[in-house]
Amino acid sequence: MDIFVVEGGKRLEGTITVGGAKNAAVAIIPAAILSGDICRIENLPDISDVSVISQILIQLGAKVTQISKSVIEIDSRNVNCTQVSQELAKNMRASYYMLGALLGRFNRAKVPMPGGCYFGVRPIDQHLKGFEALGAKTGLRDGVISLTTDKGLKGARISLDVVSVGATINLMLGAVRAEGLTIIERAAREPHIVDLANFLNSMGADVRGAGTDVIKIRGVKKLHGATYSIIPDQIEAGTYMIAAAATGGDVTINNIIPKHMESISRKLVEMGVEIYEYDDAIRVTRSRPLKACNVTTMPHPGFPTDMQPQMAVIMSIANGVSSITEGVWENRFQYVEQLCRLGVKATVQGRVATFEGVEKLVGNHVRATDLRGGAAMVIAALISDGETSIRDIYHIERGYERLIDKLVRVGACIDRRTVPDDYE
């Protein structure tokens, strides 16, 4: 197996450039097949989730050409299959965006239940409720979700019961070619929802209101190919901001949209971190001790749940007692036990984790429990005395492009090694 080995105690200093947003990319790539034409997608992150979702398109009959590391061309003119293979679907959550994309183009789709990080039950009832409102028949057999419509999809008013990024995206995909007007109420407002809407509109769709909680989609008969560049990754940027602050470093993070970073910047400033905003960059530096703070994760524009494990690390070395209340997922604290192996003092009760700041952390063997939990292990290892090994790094590589390269360039000491499976 492959592991990361981190020699802690190095201060990060320099410049890091952020890649394209993972959660936008994994929605925009499926969306391209709605065009039935050729789309060029730029600023893609070089991560395994992008390869897997591209593989799914290829399996369905699309031609996907890698133009460069961050650019692909998707020719979906010959897509002829509407059933995603079990093998590919189970590797990632976003495979379920093929439901909306295939339904929207072909009026039918069969997609196995998706994989992805485990945070307790991850229901898809809101997706199915929305597809049914658009006129689809839904079914679930042997773990495969099926959607069909004989009469074609019809626009509808859909009021989501919970704010769901995935359901909002899937219903946008399903509705762009439906007949008439679809209104999604209680829509998610994340930056990648806006990015998807912009991409759909660049293919000729009529999507308005993305970024607010009401999205209106007027169905169009036909879409066409487009060239589109994906927004920068808010969570990748936030992860490096916290790594810089935790190590008492001075790092400028390039290729970001500072507005997307506001909820994260605000908390870091509250903790005593200095943040300087530029047009498309942020400089993060810290020379003072960290102060404790409290965070509640919420859908955008609240503090992102995908940043809470990284935030936990910096809280664990702040003066005083900090807390995180998880407002999105029922169980997103599995990583805390791993942090405790490095000396973090934490308790978890239901959806609340409390961190009592300690002077220092000490290296040990830990594992990535999920993607962002894995990023937290890397940051914790950077500030631990001595060596830390991190296993199950495939979680991390699903969503962070060239993480080691980027951190090593600013002074971190990290190695990727292949070790025997029973390595201790």
Chain positions contacting ligand EPZ, by CB under 6 A: 23, 26, 93-94, 117, 122-127, 162, 164-167, 188, 305-306, 328-329, 371-372, 399
Residue closer to ligand EPZ, measured from CB, 94 or 315: 94
The distance of closest approach from Cβ of residue 22 to ligand EPZ in the complex, given in angstroms and rounded to an integer, is: 6
The distance of closest approach from Cβ of residue 77 to ligand EPZ in the complex, given in angstroms and rounded to an integer, is: 27
Question: Strand pairing partners for 72?
Answer: 41, 66
The distance of closest approach from Cβ of residue 117 to ligand EPZ in the complex, given in angstroms and rounded to an integer, is: 5
Q: Is 117 tagged catalytic?
A: yes
Distance CA 157, CA 179 (A): 13
Nearest to 222 by CA among 204, 246, 201, 247: 204
Distances from the Cα of 375 to the Cαs of 236, 311, 315, 394, in angstroms?
9, 10, 15, 11
Residue closer to ligand EPZ, measured from CB, 123 or 180: 123
Nearest to 10 by CA among 283, 319, 381: 381
Residue closer to ligand EPZ, measured from CB, 23 or 149: 23
CB-CB contact of 112 with 106 (8 Å): no
The distance of closest approach from Cβ of residue 279 to ligand EPZ in the complex, given in angstroms and rounded to an integer, is: 26
Distance CA 204, CA 200 (A): 7
Residue closer to ligand EPZ, measured from CB, 32 or 318: 32
Q: Whose CB is nearest to ligand EPZ?
A: 166
Residue closer to ligand EPZ, measured from CB, 167 or 290: 167
The distance of closest approach from Cβ of residue 402 to ligand EPZ in the complex, given in angstroms and rounded to an integer, is: 17
CB-CB contact of 154 with 135 (8 Å): yes
The distance of closest approach from Cβ of residue 24 to ligand EPZ in the complex, given in angstroms and rounded to an integer, is: 8
Tokens 């650019």 belong to 71
Report the phi/psi class of residue 204: left, alpha or beta, with left for phi > 0 and alpha for psi in -120 to 50. left
Burial of 151 (0-12, 13-18, 19+ CB in 10 A): exposed
E strand spans, 233-369: 250-254, 274-277, 281-285, 294-296, 321-325, 345-349, 352-356, 361-362, 365-367
The distance of closest approach from Cβ of residue 293 to ligand EPZ in the complex, given in angstroms and rounded to an integer, is: 21
| Greatest Cα pair distance in the chain | 65
Distance CA 29, CA 292 (A): 40
Distance CA 376, CA 338 (A): 10
DSSP states of 92-107? -GGGGHHHHHHHHHHS
Which residues are CB-neighbours of 141 under 8 A, at least 6 positions away?
Answer: none
Residue closer to ligand EPZ, measured from CB, 10 or 22: 22
Distance CA 29, CA 39 (A): 9
The distance of closest approach from Cβ of residue 288 to ligand EPZ in the complex, given in angstroms and rounded to an integer, is: 30
Residue closer to ligand EPZ, measured from CB, 292 or 348: 348
Distance CA 318, CA 35 (A): 50
Residue closer to ligand EPZ, measured from CB, 134 or 318: 134
Of the residues 81, 117, 340, 413, only one is catalytic, namely 117
Active site residues: 117
